[in-house]
Amino acid sequence: MAVALILVLIVVGSVAFHLLSPWWWTPIASNWAYIDSTIVITFWITGAVFVAVVLFMAYCVYRFRHQPGRQAHYEPESKRLELWLTLVTGIGVAAMLTPGLFVWRQFITVPQDATDVEILGQQWQWSFRLPGPDGKLGASDIRLVGPDNALGISREDPNSQDDIVIEGGELRLPVGRPIKALLRSADVIHDFYIPEMRAKMDLVPGQISYIWFTPTRTGTFEILCAELCGVGHPQMRGTVIVQEQKDYQAWLQAQASRTFARLTPTAQ
Ligand SMILES: [Cu+2]
């Protein structure tokens, strides 16, 4: 009786904790509300299964408890029961996976009008590069990284001359515009993650991965590294400031001194 009661209390406690928990996710600040929906669907399905299984256990513990003279019925196999369990489990798993496929399709389909922004991760900081007036990022190569060229940007590429380089600082983005973040790593695997944007993606050395999102409200958000990348991993944080279009443009105009050409003038 006590065990059955404990099982019921576990169910009640878990559901209450889930509903009353103060550690819920941060208010969303991007277009990726779908990510939240898929998590909510998973919570509902796994939650319902958890409640059903544990309550069933409590029922069995109580109903089939030991009584003098009572004997268990031996039934090693039940085709009907197995069929039912397979069907219900299959439907439950499909219901959790299918919405994810639709979201993933959107996740990898970048809108045509997205603005490129480069994000470089290295042990243990974030650096950024924005295209200049030409709207294009110049070529880059990790082999070009040096004391005066932290992002390894190509000096030969004319497109790179007006690129704005922000080393270990704050990234600014305009609100309501889709952003395509091109992700590079200088050393090990990192993972670009802004909890309020819901989206995250690995930075893999030797590749340029990408992620896109549209910031939906202004504010200051923290960039975290979501991949264990060495002893400095917990300190690998950055800041993204989402601004109104006019404030963003004003800031952009003031960045003329941070172009790649100014920062690393070619040796004469
Ligand atoms: Cu990292």
Q: What is the pLDDT of residue 186?
A: 85
Which pLDDT tens digit goes with each residue over 45-55?
Answer: 889 999 999 99
Can you give the CATH number for the domain in which 224 is found? 2.60.40.420
Ligand 1 centroid distance, CA of 106 (Å): 26
pLDDT bucket at 57, cuts 50 / 70 / 90: very high
Q: Is the pLDDT of residue 37 over 70?
A: yes
Average pLDDT over residues 24-33: 86
Q: What is the pLDDT of residue 266?
A: 59
Percent of the chain clearing pLDDT 70 (strictly above): 98
Does one domain contain both 193 and 245?
yes
Interhelix angle 33-63/79-108, nearest 10 degrees: 160
pTM: 0.76
Q: What is the pLDDT of residue 54?
A: 94
Segments of the chain assigned E as strands: 115-122, 125-130, 164-166, 170-174, 179-185, 190-193, 200-203, 209-213, 219-225, 237-243
Per-residue DSSP letters for 210-241?
A: EEEE-B-S-EEEEEEE-S--STTGGG-EEEEE
Average pLDDT over residues 215-244: 91
Most confident of 150-154, 162-166, 177-181: 177-181
Phi, psi of 253 (to 5 degrees): -60, -35
Does one domain contain both 40 and 151?
no
Q: What are the residues whose beta carbon lies below 5 Å from ligand 1 (ion)? A: 190, 225, 229, 236
Ligand 1 centroid distance, CA of 45 (Å): 33
Ligand 1 centroid distance, CA of 239 (Å): 14
Does one domain contain both 223 and 100?
no
Which pLDDT tens digit goes with each residue over 180-194?
Answer: 999 998 889 999 999
Does one domain contain both 153 and 92?
no
Ligand 1 centroid distance, CA of 236 (Å): 6
- Residue 72: inside a domain: no
Q: What is the pLDDT of residue 212?
A: 93
pLDDT bucket at 268, cuts 50 / 70 / 90: very low
Which residues sit opposite 224 in a β-bridge? 193, 237
Domain that residue 259 falls in: 115-263
Q: What is the pLDDT of residue 265?
A: 63
Does one domain contain both 89 and 197?
no
Average pLDDT over residues 205-210: 89
Does one domain contain both 238 and 253?
yes
pLDDT bucket at 222, cuts 50 / 70 / 90: very high
Taking all residues of the chain, what is their mean pLDDT, rounded to a whole number? 86
Does one domain contain both 126 and 245?
yes
Counted domains in the chain: 2
Does one domain contain both 101 and 119?
no
Which pLDDT tens digit goes with each residue over 155-164?
Answer: 777 777 778 8
Does one domain contain both 166 and 253?
yes
pLDDT bucket at 267, cuts 50 / 70 / 90: very low
Ligand 1 centroid distance, CA of 100 (Å): 26
Does one domain contain both 141 and 58?
no
Does one domain contain both 98 and 125?
no
d(CA 132, CA 134): 5
Ligand 1 centroid distance, CA of 232 (Å): 8
Which pLDDT tens digit goes with each residue over 80-89?
Answer: 999 999 999 9
- Residue 50: inside a domain: yes
Does one domain contain both 97 and 182?
no
d(CA 18, CA 36): 15
Q: What is the pLDDT of residue 21?
A: 86
Ligand 1 centroid distance, CA of 199 (Å): 16
d(CA 31, CA 214): 6
Q: Is the pLDDT of residue 115 over 80?
A: yes
